[in-house]
Amino acid sequence: MSAILDFPVKPEARPYLDAFDGRQRDVTPSWLAQSRRRGMTRFAELGFPTRRSESWRYLDLQSLQQKPLLPAGPQPGGHEATARAQLAGLELPGRGPRLVILDGRFAPTLSRIDDLSAGVWLGATEAAIAEREDLFREVAEEVPGDPAHPFAALNAAFFAGGFILDIDAGVAIDQPIEIVHLASGKDPRSYHTRSLIRLGEGSRATILEAHTGDGRYWRNDVVAVRLAAGAALTHAVLVEEAAEAVHLAELDAILGADARFSGFALLLGGGTVRHEASVQMVGEGAACRLDGAFIVHRTQEANIVTNVDHQVPHGETRELIKGVAAGRGHGAFQGKITVREHAQKVDAHQLSRNLILGGRAVIDTKPELEIYADDVKCAHGASVGALDEAALFYLRTRGIPDAEARHMLIEGFLREPVEEIADPVLREHLLRRLARRLEKLEE
């Protein structure tokens, strides 16, 4: 056995450690073997987060902890017919670039990435090791030391697929780029994907990452976003995972001077879903939007977690997160904005608004500002309420049946953050997915 047994291993990490030892014999290059081992060691030490860990306190991971979902094997499993059926309806209209990841691995026959503009490199993470090792290293080597990110460490140990988008300075892509993550459901596994979006100075792109699947699986996704000065990225995430699926995603963005990042997450399905976005403003004048919406019903759980770190002056942050919980669903928002001592003239605003439908649903919301600078404009707010009965009555007096009227109000409530998305094709697509989700809402 290996040297990594020289430290205490958390019991829930043991099955993953055993799986790791079984498949690490011929990893090359050696730096990759080392960073994988570093990730594994880190996860073995940390184990699953407990509810005492502040940023995980609203999520119940008991069932995953008790019934491990081991990483999918190194070979892609096929199942493309299933994947095609899953893609239908989920696809973004138009013939823009699309990269499909099936069961954690790049699916070339479902993808459309050969017709890209000059100055754009888009490909599977695993393909970059041969073609662009510089990019691959940037994705692979970072293993978070932060105890709040045990699954990012596990991801570093096991990641197989993912995507890399690298755009040269000054290149603007107008058509949205679509990344689709599918899970065939043929094998109850975990899929560890690791991706990088790197925009050169003054470049511009819009990306949609959609996630869906069947059966029981665990998606553990890590995305790094690196925006050079003046770059602008819209990054939307659509989560429509299977009812039994666990979806844990971490997006980590670093913004250069005057960069613009518009992050959006629409969480519509999945048993346990957590979307975390962390943004570091390292260049002056950078701005970000972190918007999102979630819907939970039955016993679903959804968390949106945001961290924005204003390290330099003249930054701007806007967050609007809306949530709806029905049935015995549980939704939560945790957002933190930090303004460091020298980060004067920062303008930050954070708003969490939620609807509870019925007596058994639960919403937690925790907006938080941590401000060390003295010349800033920061505000936050949170609300949790029921559907507006006066509005419901008004719609019904026009003949709209009760259930339809309720859906109109819920949709009206959730549309606001989606409408912040600038690209019209993407915006309309997400609004359609939202409307479709509401048709199946069980209150």
CB of 434 to another protein, least distance (A): 11
Give the Å distances, CA to CA, from 78 to 72, 98, 138. Answer: 13, 18, 29
| Closer of 79 and 433 to another protein (Cβ) | 433
| Closer of 409 and 425 to another protein (Cβ) | 409
| Closer of 145 and 399 to another protein (Cβ) | 399
CB of 408 to another protein, least distance (A): 6
Q: Give ∠ CA 78-175-199 in degrees, rounded to 5.
A: 85
CB of 417 to another protein, least distance (A): 10
Q: For residue 71, say if its preceding peptide bond is cis, omega within 30 degrees of 0.
A: no
Contact positions vs another protein (CB under 8 A): 388-391, 393-402, 404-405, 408-409, 411-416
CB of 423 to another protein, least distance (A): 20
Which helix (H) or strand (E) covers residue 322, if one does?
strand 316-325
> What is the C-alpha to C-alpha distance for residues 76 and 283, in angstroms, rounded to an integer?
40
CB of 264 to another protein, least distance (A): 16
Q: Is 91 left (phi over 0), alpha (psi -120 to 50) or beta?
A: beta
| Closer of 388 and 442 to another protein (Cβ) | 388
> What is the C-alpha to C-alpha distance for residues 166 and 200, in angstroms, rounded to an integer?
8
> What is the C-alpha to C-alpha distance for residues 200 and 287, in angstroms, rounded to an integer?
16
CB of 442 to another protein, least distance (A): 21
| Closer of 94 and 412 to another protein (Cβ) | 412
Which helix (H) or strand (E) covers residue 34, if one does?
helix 30-46
Q: Are strands 177-183 and 120-124 parallel, antiparallel or unpaired?
A: unpaired
| Closer of 382 and 409 to another protein (Cβ) | 409
